[in-house]
């Protein structure tokens, strides 16, 4: 199984540009989420989804949009990138509430 | 604020047991203790979790005190590949949406020394 797959792994954006970080899982997990990790800090939750068509905000949602049209995919959109969004982004999934959460390998984003 | 307290760093000799402590004095009865680790430039990796009983799997053992206010993760024979940041996380596990979230602190940076 591929598990949780994120693309791209590295991206450089100019301020004001838009882009989408892709996340896909092949484990039929209901729950998916996006975290960001800044240097020397733990992960912080951006948005999460408990199933197709359902999304909600996490701790740091501003500047990001998400949608969940299928069980497998949970893209994270930056509509107008800012230097403060320079970070490492991790997608995660779990089968249901209470199950172990598994993470992707990360997407390194730099906004200049 | 993270609900756990961990030492910022620890060293362990290769081949010896690594014992990583975690304090969670405000843990509630419906909260589990989870351990993840993050090897440099990789995504967090699940290690083990428990509620009140000690747990063991192929990676590690988890010892939870009787009052559940602290726990210890044990890597029985540390190798150089175990060098990573280890996160202790308390997590509500029920049907509510909040149970999906993991709140990460700064963790313990474990350095395994040859």
Instruction: Identify the pLDDT of residue B98.
Output: 57
Instruction: Identify the pLDDT of residue A40.
Output: 76
Instruction: Identify the pLDDT of residue A36.
Output: 95
The model's pLDDT over B15-50, given as tens digits with 9 standing for 90+, comes to: 999 999 999 999 988 889 999 999 988 899 999 999
Instruction: Identify the pLDDT of residue A20.
Output: 97
B35 SS3 class: strand
Nearest chain A residue to B34 by CA: give it.
A100
Instruction: Identify the pLDDT of residue A57.
Output: 92
**B97 contacts in chain A (CB < 8 Å):** 48, 50, 56, 97
Of B73, B108, B102, B20, which Cα lies nearest the Cα of A97?
A: B102
The model's pLDDT over B53-110, given as tens digits with 9 standing for 90+, comes to: 899 999 999 999 999 999 999 999 999 999 999 999 988 766 555 556 788 888 999 9
Which residues of chain A, if any, have pLDDT below 50? none
Instruction: Identify the pLDDT of residue A74.
Output: 98
Interface test with B, best of A27, A98, A102, A105 (most B CBs within 10 A): A98
Q: Residue A43 in contact with residue B102, Cβ under 8 Å?
A: yes
Chain A interface residues facing chain B, Cβ-Cβ under 8 Å? 4, 31, 33, 40-45, 48, 50, 56, 58, 90, 92, 94, 97-98, 100-106
Of A51, A55, A50, which Cα lies nearest the Cα of A76?
A: A55
B66 vs B102: CA distance, rounded Å: 24
Which B residues 60-99 touch A at CB under 8 Å?
A: 87, 93-97, 99
Residue B51's CB is within 10 A of a number of other CB atoms, namely 13
Which B residues 21-50 touch A at CB under 8 Å?
A: 41-46, 49
**A100 contacts in chain B (CB < 8 Å):** 46, 49
Instruction: Identify the pLDDT of residue B114.
Output: 95
Instruction: Identify the pLDDT of residue A97.
Output: 66
Query: How far apart are the CA of B51 and the nearest CA of chain A, in angstroms?
Result: 12
Instruction: Identify the pLDDT of residue B2.
Output: 55
Instruction: Identify the pLDDT of residue B104.
Output: 83
Instruction: Identify the pLDDT of residue A1.
Output: 52
């Amino acid at each position: 199984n591929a598990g949780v797959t994120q693309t791209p792994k590295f991206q450089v954006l100019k301020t004001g540009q838009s882009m989408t970080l892709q996340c896909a899982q092949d484990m039929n997990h209901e729950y998916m989420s996006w975290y960001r990790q800044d240097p020397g800090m733990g992960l912080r939750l951006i948005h999460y989804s408990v199933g197709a068509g359902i999304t909600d905000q996490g701790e740091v949602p501003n500047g990001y949009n998400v949608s969940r049209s299928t069980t497998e995919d949970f893209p994270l959109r930056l509509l107008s990138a800012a230097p403060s969004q320079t970070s490492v982004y991790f997608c995660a999934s779990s089968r249901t509430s209470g199950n172990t959460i598994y993470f992707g390998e990360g997407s390194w984003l730099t906004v200049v | 604020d993270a609900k756990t307290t961990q030492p910022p760093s620890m060293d362990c000799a290769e081949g010896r047991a690594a014992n990583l402590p975690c304090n969670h004095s405000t843990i509630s009865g419906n909260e589990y203790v989870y351990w993840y680790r993050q090897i440099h430039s990789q995504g967090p990796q699940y290690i083990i979790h428990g509620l009140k009983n000690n747990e063991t799997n192929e990676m590690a053992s988890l010892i939870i005190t009787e009052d559940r206010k602290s726990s210890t993760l044990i890597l029985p024979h540390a190798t150089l590949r175990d060098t990573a940041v280890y996160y202790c996380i308390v997590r509500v596990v029920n049907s509510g949406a909040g149970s999906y979230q993991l709140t990460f602190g700064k963790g313990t940076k474990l350095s395994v020394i040859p």
